[in-house]
Structure 1
C-alpha cells in the first residue's frame, strides 16, 4: 500500500521515527518519498549518515517545528500519508515548562491537522500515550487534548477523503528516556532508584509500536483510537532483571506519575470494541456505518465498565522474560 506513496514522519529522528523509517524502507522498497521532519539538526545529521542520498534517494530530511504551520504546509505538499510522532514527552520537564509543552503537543497537533487539510494528505496517524488516559500530569493532559483534536478532525474534513486516527500504547522498550536504558546506565553506579515498589507499566517493543502505526495507516476508517493488547511489568522486576546485585533504593514517585498506567477507563467502555489484536475507542458519532466497520474487523463491544490498566493486566513480563526482551530489543550485549 505504501509503494509509490509519499510519507512524512514528524519527530522522525526519535526512537519510533527511526524504527518506522527502517521498517518502511525494508517493507516498501518502492516508496516514492520518505520525509524526516524534525527540529533537531544534530539528530538529522547523524541519521543522514545512516541513509546516504546515493543509496536512499527517496529520503528527504526537513528541518522544521510543528509549532510553525507555514513550514508544515510546505513540507506536506505532495505528501500522501503523515505519521505524527513529534511531542514533548518527558513528564517532569513538561511539569516545569507547561507552556512549552502546550505549544508543541496541543498547538502543534492542530497545526498538523490544519496543514493536512490544506494540502492533499490522505491519511494521518497520530501517536498517543497511556498517560493520555485519565491524565494526572500535564504531558498526559496535552496528549489527551491532541487525541481529541485528531479524532474531531474527521468532522471538519468536508468531502475530503482524508482519514485521521490515533494509536495509544504504553512504554516503548528501549526508547529515549525510558526506564530500561536508564537502569542499564545506572547499574554501573550500584544503585537503581525505584519510585514505588508497587509500580507497574505496560510494555511494548519498538517493532510493536511500528506495527500498530502501520495497522492504523492501512486499516483505519477515521476517528479510531487504537490500543494494543500488551503485557505489563513490575518496576521491581525490571530492577531485578537488570541489576540483581545492585541496591534497589526507593526514592518516591516523581511529580505527575501514577502507580499504574491506564489505557481504557470504565467511562471509555461504552465506545470501546475488541478487534482481536487491538482494542479501539470510537467516537460517539462516526462518518461511516458502525455495523459495516464491526463486520469488516469482526469487532465486538466490550462489557460496560470494562477497564484496561497495567496493574490489573492478565499478561505479565517476568524477570526472565524481561532479560530476553532487553537482549533482543534494547541491547544485544546485555548481561546481568
Structure 2
C-alpha cells in the first residue's frame, strides 16, 4: 500500500499511541518496535491489566505504559510532554454500546478528540494522526456520527496551530479482519453450532488486515502535510461470500438488518470527491476549508463527477481463497 515507508520515520522520536492496548494498538506496537527505531513508544490507555499483558508480550525497554483516559485533559497534557508523533486510536466503537450510552460516546470520541488536539498543540507535537472509519461517512448510528465530528475536529485542528509546528490528519478505512467487533470471530464461533446468522444477503463490506491497516497509517504519517483524510484502495466482499468462505458446510440463517446498520459502506461520497486526489493505491481527501498554509502537497489525479467509493460498486473484490490467506 502506498509508497515505501522510510525506515528512519521514527528515528529518535518519542511516539504516543492512545488506545494502545486494542487490536490496532498491539499490531502498531509490534511493527514499530520490530522495523523502526523510536526513542520511546508510550502506550496510553485505561486498563492496567491489558497494559500488564502487553508489557509481558513485548518486553521492550522503549515501551512506556501510561494509565489514562482521553477524557482526562490534564493527564493527556502530561503524557504528551516531549512527544513528537501521536497516533490517536482510542474510541468507543461498539455500535449498540454507543447508542445505549450516547453521552459517554460523545465524551470519549468527541470531547476526547478535543483534548488530544489541545494537548498536542500546547506540547508542540509535530504530527498527529487520528484513526477514523467508514462509519463516519453518511453516518446512520451515533458511533459513526461521533467519528464524523472527530474527523472534522482533526482536519480543522490545523487552524488552531497558528505559527506552531503541529499538524493533524486522519486515516479512514473499512472493516479489519479478525479485530474485536469484527463479524469473523462471530462466524467462527457460530461455525461450531452449524448455523451462521446473516442480517441481509445483499450486504457488502470493505476489508483489510490489521497489518495492512497499520502500514497504511505509517505511510500516511510519512506523507501528511496537515488536513488530509487518507483512504486506502481495498477490496470488498459480500457478507454471504464471507460466510461461505469461513463455514461452507454451515446453514445460513437470514435475520434482517440490525438497527444502525448499513447494507453497504461508503468511504468517499460524491460531494467529497470534488476535493479528492487519486493515487495508484489510495485516495487523499483534501480539506475544503484550509484556513492554514499548506505546502508541498503531492499532485494526484482528479476524480470524475459524482464519483463514489462504495463497497457495492468497488472494482476490487476478495475471493474466498484470498480471504482464507488473509485469515
Q: TM-score, normalised by structure 2?
A: 0.95
The match for 2:29 is 21
Matched, 1:314 2:315: yes
CA shift for structure 1 position 309: 0.5
CA shift for structure 1 position 276: 2.3
- Whether contact under 8 Å (2:226, 2:294) holds in the other structure is no
The match for 1:113 is 117
Aligned partner of 1:81 among 70, 81, 85: 85
The match for 2:107 is 103
The match for 2:65 is 61
Q: Distance in 1 between matches of 2:186 and 2:42?
A: 30
Q: How does 1:251-270 map to 2 (within 5 A)?
A: 251-270=255-274
CA shift for structure 1 position 206: 0.7
Deviations 1:25-49 (A, max 9, x none): 1111x31000011001121111111
The match for 1:139 is 143
Matched, 1:282 2:290: no
The match for 2:303 is 302
Residue 313 of structure 1 aligns to a residue whose secondary structure is: coil
- Whether contact under 8 Å (1:202, 1:232) holds in the other structure is yes
Deviations 1:161-185 (A, max 9, x none): 1110000000011111101122112
Q: Distance in 1 between matches of 2:262 and 2:85?
A: 34
Matched, 1:7 2:15: yes
- Structure 2: runs of 5 or more not aligned: 1-8
CA shift for structure 1 position 285: 3.5
Aligned partner of 1:34 among 38, 41, 61: 41
- Whether contact under 8 Å (2:125, 2:165) holds in the other structure is no
The match for 2:252 is 248
- Structure 1: runs of 5 or more not aligned: 327-336
CA shift for structure 1 position 270: 1.1
Deviations 1:234-264 (A, max 9, x none): 1101110111111111111111100000000
Q: How does 1:149-298 map to 2 (within 5 A)?
A: 149-286=153-290, 287-288=292-293, 292-293=296-297, 297-298=298-299
Deviations 1:300-326 (A, max 9, x none): 111121100001111101222212221
Q: Distance in 2 between matches of 1:207 and 1:298?
A: 27
Q: Distance in 2 between matches of 1:239 and 1:110?
A: 39
Query: Please, which moves more after superposition, 268-277 or 257-266?
Result: 268-277
- Whether contact under 8 Å (2:85, 2:128) holds in the other structure is yes
Aligned partner of 2:55 among 48, 53, 74: 48
Residue 95 of structure 1 aligns to a residue whose secondary structure is: helix
Residue 189 of structure 1 aligns to a residue whose secondary structure is: coil
Aligned residue-pair number? 318
Q: Distance in 1 between matches of 2:289 and 2:203?
A: 36
Q: Distance in 2 between matches of 1:191 and 1:12?
A: 35
Q: Distance in 1 between matches of 2:251 and 2:116?
A: 45
CA RMSD of aligned residues (A): 1.1
Deviations 1:68-92 (A, max 9, x none): 0101001000111000000011111
Residue 156 of structure 1 aligns to a residue whose secondary structure is: helix
The match for 1:323 is 324
CA shift for structure 1 position 288: 3.9
Note closer, same or farther for the CA distance 1:47–1:289 as it changes in structure 2 (3 Å cut). Answer: closer
CA shift for structure 1 position 289: 5.0
